[in-house]
Amino acid sequence: MNIHTTSTSTLERVPAELRKWLSVPRPMLINGKWVQAKSGKVFDVIDPATEMHLATVAEGDAADIDEAVRAARNALDNGPWGRMSPSARGRIVHKIGDLILKYLDELAQLESLDNGKPFAVARVADVPLSADIFHYMSGWATKLEGKHIPISNLVSPGQYLSFTRLEPVGVVGQIIPWNFPLLMAAWKLAPALATGCTVVLKVAEETPLSGLRLGEILQEAGVPDGVVNIVPGFGETAGAALASHPGVAKVAFTGSTDVGRLIVQAASRDLRKVSLELGGKSPNIILDDADIEAAIAGSTAGIFFNHGQCCNAGSRLFVQEKVFDKVVSGIAANAAKIKLGVGMDAATEMGPMVSDVQHGRVKGYLKCGLEEGARAVTGGSAPDGKGYFVNPTVLVDTKPDMKVVREEIFGPVLVAIPFKEVDEKLIATANDTIYGLAAGVWSRDIAKANQLANALKAGSVWVNCYHVFDAALPFGGYKQSGWGREMGQAVLSNYLEAKAITSRIA
């Protein structure tokens, strides 16, 4: 396996100014002030490529969350934010996007160090997409229009004027994962700010750094004190406290389906509103009439992009029998060539898993799959040495009830399954999952491809492409992949209440 790892700190590869920023215990942002945890506790952030210490971060818990929620409430009720014109609010949201682009390199470096992903990838994907959602959402601030609704009141017709007014839902608790730390923060914050909410954001304990740097950027853009509070900390403490805090009107969560269930439980006591973007085990279907070279390249990226740590990864590959061997050997050959290494190394194409825990989880799935009789065409193991690396893996000879076929692995592991005909059986097999986040279809027959796209129970279906995201497109899941949508116009309803106002006019 091509692995470029190192026993020296990756910090040497970033500019001195960023090293300096990382050398100070990073505080949390509450009410416009950068403060340490009330408990005085901190936690270590580990570089997943070298297993070396990267930074120390304030460890928020229930007491810090409580203060942050109060600050957010106060900012909404008493600060300039609640009275700001939509146009002024939109301009601030737009400026955040501009500043993210201004700090493109620095943010991509932070993301690479903290998450392990290649710097080059963060620079062309994570950071520009983060800027784009702020730019896109800034336009909505001035377009949150209610409607005049003609009513038929039977007792006294014609005597009322009714219209709806869209109001911010209030203080929002947002909990995000580690796979796209900056982008997930951006997907959550941009619509909440555009709609005029205030926020307490809990960044993931594995990757808190870019979210904290984003806090500084929000201040530079002119977001008033207390409007966005950023608390790093652990899920069971800070996360659970946020999800169950009575001062939070709405919880927006992205992460695993298991934790999604805990969020719902925590929010249920007060019937807090909840939106969830959860796991996936997405089918990617290649028909024998497809452009096979394009399907091989697209399906390779479909599973291995971001080291397979994507909720929408195309992790179950269905290939029509006639082209099965060609496709599988093509993807396996691509996988075997992927250069693993430190994200800041220009040669690196795939970094490590984000953490020791995630590394153990993925290796556990590989072991289980191989023991149950699956065969690794390539990969199937983790390289020796430092860093949480896993060799990109393609498994065949699986059975439908194997864990590697049914459960989300969240790593660079593809299961490839042959099928005979494009028929009901194929559709039923592709839909035979608790998840419904995404799907792919590869075919030159556009009618057949669209019939499949219609029949797949998934929130996003890509035809002759994969992983195509846009700030304007809604993203979210059917079934246990979630509630509600991120991005696009669709996300706005997560953060708005519609009030119907009726006046007697006669």
**What residues between 103 and 122 interact with ligand ADP by CB under 6 A?**
none
- Closest contact distance (angstroms) between CB of 411 and ligand ADP is 11
Q: How many residues bind to ligand ADP according to rule CB under 6 A?
A: 17
Q: Which is nearer to ligand ADP, 180 or 462 (CB)?
A: 180
Is 57 buried (19+), middle (13-18) or exposed (0-12) by CB count in 10 A? buried
**What is the C-alpha separation between 9 and 11, in angstroms, rounded?**
5
**Residues 204, 212, 214, 332: which binds ligand ADP (CB under 6 A)?**
204
**Sign of the dihedral defined by the CA atoms of residues 501, 502, 503, 505, in that order:** positive
Q: Look up 277 and say whether it is catalytic.
A: yes
Report how far Cα 38 is from the mean position of its chain's Cα atoms. 29
Segment contacting ligand ADP by CB under 6 A, of 184-192, 197-205, 465-473, 485-493? 197-205
Short-list 484, 504, 316, 380, CA closest to 1: 380
**What is the C-alpha separation between 134 and 127, in angstroms, rounded?**
11
Segment contacting ligand ADP by CB under 6 A, of 191-199, 202-210, 431-439, 497-505? 202-210
Q: Binding to ligand ADP by residue 325, rule CB under 6 A?
A: no
| DSSP line for 327-385 | HHHHHHHHHHHPPEE-TTSTT-SB---SSHHHHHHHHHHHHHHHHTT-EEEE--S--SS
What are the backbone angles phi and psi of residue 156, rounded to the nearest 5°?
A: -135, 75
**Residues 79, 226, 255, 302: which binds ligand ADP (CB under 6 A)?**
255
**Residues 29, 46, 169, 240: which binds ligand ADP (CB under 6 A)?**
240
Q: Which is nearer to ligand ADP, 177 or 341 (CB)?
A: 177
Segment contacting ligand ADP by CB under 6 A, of 52-60, 221-229, 251-259, 289-297? 251-259
Q: Binding to ligand ADP by residue 205, rule CB under 6 A?
A: yes
Q: Which is nearer to ligand ADP, 48 or 239 (CB)?
A: 239
Q: Which is nearer to ligand ADP, 75 or 267 (CB)?
A: 267
Element (H, E) at 242: helix 240-243
Q: Binding to ligand ADP by residue 184, rule CB under 6 A?
A: no
**What is the C-alpha separation between 93 and 401, in angstroms, rounded?**
47
**What residues between 208 and 237 interact with ligand ADP by CB under 6 A?**
234-236
Long-range contacts of 93-96 (CB under 8 A, 24+ apart): 93/134, 93/137, 93/138, 93/141, 93/190, 93/193, 93/194, 94/134, 94/135, 94/138, 95/221, 95/222, 96/134, 96/189, 96/190, 96/193, 96/217, 96/218, 96/221, 96/223
Return the residue nearest ligand ADP (CB atom): 235
Q: Binding to ligand ADP by residue 202, rule CB under 6 A?
A: yes
- Closest contact distance (angstroms) between CB of 309 and ligand ADP is 8
Radius of gyration from C-alpha coordinates of the chain:
24
Q: Bridge-partner residues for 34, per DSSP? A: 29
**What is the C-alpha separation between 372 and 485, in angstroms, rounded?**
36
**What is the C-alpha separation between 6 and 351, in angstroms, rounded?**
12
Q: Which residue has the tokens 């896109």?
A: 136
**Residues 259, 311, 335, 415: which binds ligand ADP (CB under 6 A)?**
259
Please pick, among 59, 67, 197, 311, the residue that the annotation labels catalytic: 311
Element (H, E) at 175: strand 171-175
Q: Which is nearer to ligand ADP, 59 or 345 (CB)?
A: 59
Short-list 15, 231, 221, CA closest to 112: 15
- Closest contact distance (angstroms) between CB of 234 and ligand ADP is 6
Q: Look up 311 and say whether it is catalytic.
A: yes
Element (H, E) at 56: strand 52-58
**What residues between 144 and 183 interact with ligand ADP by CB under 6 A?**
175-177
Query: Contact, 97 vs 132, CB < 8 A?
Result: yes
Segment contacting ligand ADP by CB under 6 A, of 88-96, 256-264, 328-336, 362-370? 256-264
Q: Binding to ligand ADP by residue 308, rule CB under 6 A?
A: no
**What residues between 424 and 463 interact with ligand ADP by CB under 6 A?**
none
- Closest contact distance (angstroms) between CB of 347 and ligand ADP is 28
Q: Binding to ligand ADP by residue 243, rule CB under 6 A?
A: yes
At 232, which amino acid appears?
P
Please pick, among 277, 310, 408, 486, the residue that the annotation labels catalytic: 277
Query: Contact, 285 vs 442, CB < 8 A?
Result: yes
Q: Which is nearer to ligand ADP, 13 or 359 (CB)?
A: 359
Q: Which is nearer to ligand ADP, 232 or 330 (CB)?
A: 232
Q: Which is nearer to ligand ADP, 176 or 274 (CB)?
A: 176
From residue 56 to residue 85, what is the string marking binding to ligand ADP with x (rule CB under 6 A)? ------------------------------
**What is the C-alpha separation between 336 and 1, in angstroms, rounded?**
7
- The binding site for ligand ADP (CB under 6 A) comprises 175-177, 202, 204-205, 234-236, 239-240, 243, 255-256, 259, 262-263
Active site positions, annotated = 277, 311
